Amino acid sequence: MSSSGSTYGDIHRYEPPRESTAAALAIVLLSIFEVIFVGMFTYGLISGWGIATYDATGSMFLGGLLAVIFVNLAFILMLYRKEFLPDVMIVKKRRRKWEDLYIREDDVDGEKLTDGATESIKRALYPYYKK
């Protein structure tokens, strides 16, 4: 598809997800391992494996379990994103920088140093001056 005829908000590319059975089985197995590792970590915290009485192997083991938990979760999310979410590209309007600052179009150039100087001098000299 060419981008010359597309308007803002149109779907430029849509590829449906693959939804493979092998990926679903891998996600299920990784989820089972995730539950086991979280259970081991929780049991280690409750039973005090991380308390360093003689050496730091208990806290190192708990840190390793926590690392394995997050790496396993990253693989689960990566597989889910790759295999079960569609690949969609939407045409968006690129905003100008001054629009991000919520500035009106006539105020893009800013104010000059002398803008309103005469009004402020008049107010300083005569406080009851009306516009």
pLDDT at 3: 46
**Per-residue DSSP letters for 48-74?**
TTT--SS-SHHHHHHHHHHHHHHHHHH
- Give the global pTM: 0.58
Burial class of residue 50, CB neighbours in 10 A (0-12, 13-18, 19+): middle
Q: What is the pLDDT of residues 84-100, one digit of tens each?
A: 888 777 777 666 665 56
Q: What's the rounded Cα separation, in Å, for the pair 36 and 14?
A: 37
How confident is the model at residue 28, as a pLDDT?
96
Helical H segments across the chain, by residue range: 21-47, 57-84, 97-100, 117-125
What's the chain's average pLDDT?
A: 80
CB atoms within 10 A of CB 22: 10
Model confidence at 113: pLDDT above 80: no
d(CA 37, CA 33): 6
Give the pLDDT confidence of 51-86 residue by residue, as tens digits: 876 778 888 999 999 999 999 999 999 999 988 888
The span from the CA of 104 to the CA of 81, in Å, is: 40
Instruction: Delimit the domains of the chain by residue range.
Output: 11-96
| Predicted confidence band of residue 1 (pLDDT cuts 50, 70, 90) | very low
- CA dist 22 and 20 (Å) reads 5
Q: Higher pLDDT residue, 33 or 101?
A: 33
